[in-house]
């Protein structure tokens, strides 16, 4: 009984095992799987990432204002949905120029609110992609 009483008293003055989250940020590992980032200048528009993506979070859709990249003959634009992405890294492994055109960072996506129209905008893109 004395040991348990002693333990209870020492536990009163111990630091908690949890962290004070919003004040103290969570320590992020550099290899943490986060957002996929894209370098337009190095992209060769092979569309391998689009085919490899399991949930279909990368879409190349035709646009009126294409980039000046000479490999972009069809006038496409890269679209990425961080809220659909499962961060598996399959696109980066499929990319012929990883680290330059497509790489995985350790950043988290920003919290989206209803006003951002994350879903409806993406459904529009999916319709455009099919047609």
Partner 1 sequence: MKKTINIPLGSQHISLLEPVRFKFECENEKIVGVDSDVGFVHRGVEKACTTRFKYDAVGYVVARVCGLCAITHSLSYTVAIEQLLDVEVSKKAKYLRVLLLELDRIHSHMLCLSHTCESAGFEAMFMRIMGDRELIMEIQELLTGNRIQFDYISIGGVNRDISLETAKKIVNSLDIVKQKVLGYIDEFTNNWSLSLKFKGIGALTLDEAYRFNAIGPLARASGLHIDVRNEIEYLPYKELGFKMQTHTDGDINARNIIRLNEILNSLEMCNNILAGVPEGEIVVKSKGKPSGESLVRFEAPRGELMYFVKGNATAMLDRVRIKTPTFSSIPAFSHIFMGENYADAPAILASFDPCLSCTAK
Residues that bind partner 1 (CB under 8 A): 17, 29, 31-33, 52, 54, 86-90, 93
Distance CA 68, CA 111 (A): 32
CB of 18 vs partner 1, minimal distance in Å: 9
Name the residue nearer to partner 1 (CB basis): 63 or 84: 84
Name the residue nearer to partner 1 (CB basis): 4 or 120: 4
CB of 69 vs partner 1, minimal distance in Å: 28
Name the residue nearer to partner 1 (CB basis): 51 or 71: 51
CB of 88 vs partner 1, minimal distance in Å: 4
CB 63: neighbour CB atoms within 10 A? Answer: 14
- Residue 49 phi/psi, 5-degree rounding, is -65, -35
Distance CA 29, CA 11 (A): 30
Q: State the sign of the Cα–Cα–Cα–Cα dihedral 69, 73, 74, 80.
A: negative
């Amino acid at each position: 009984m004395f040991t348990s009483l002693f333990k209870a008293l020492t536990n009163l003055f111990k630091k908690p095992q949890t962290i004070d989250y919003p004040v103290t940020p969570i320590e992020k590992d550099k290899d943490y799987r986060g957002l996929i980032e894209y370098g337009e200048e190095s992209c060769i528009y092979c569309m391998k990432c689009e085919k490899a993506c399991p949930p279909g979070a990368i879409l190349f859709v035709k646009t009126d204002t294409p980039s000046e990249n000479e490999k972009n003959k069809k006038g496409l634009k890269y679209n990425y949905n961080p809220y659909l992405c499962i961060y598996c890294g399959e696109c980066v492994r499929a990319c012929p120029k990883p680290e330059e055109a497509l790489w995985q960072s350790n950043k988290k996506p920003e919290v989206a609110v209803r006003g951002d129209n994350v879903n409806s905008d993406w459904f529009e893109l999916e319709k455009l992609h099919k047609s």
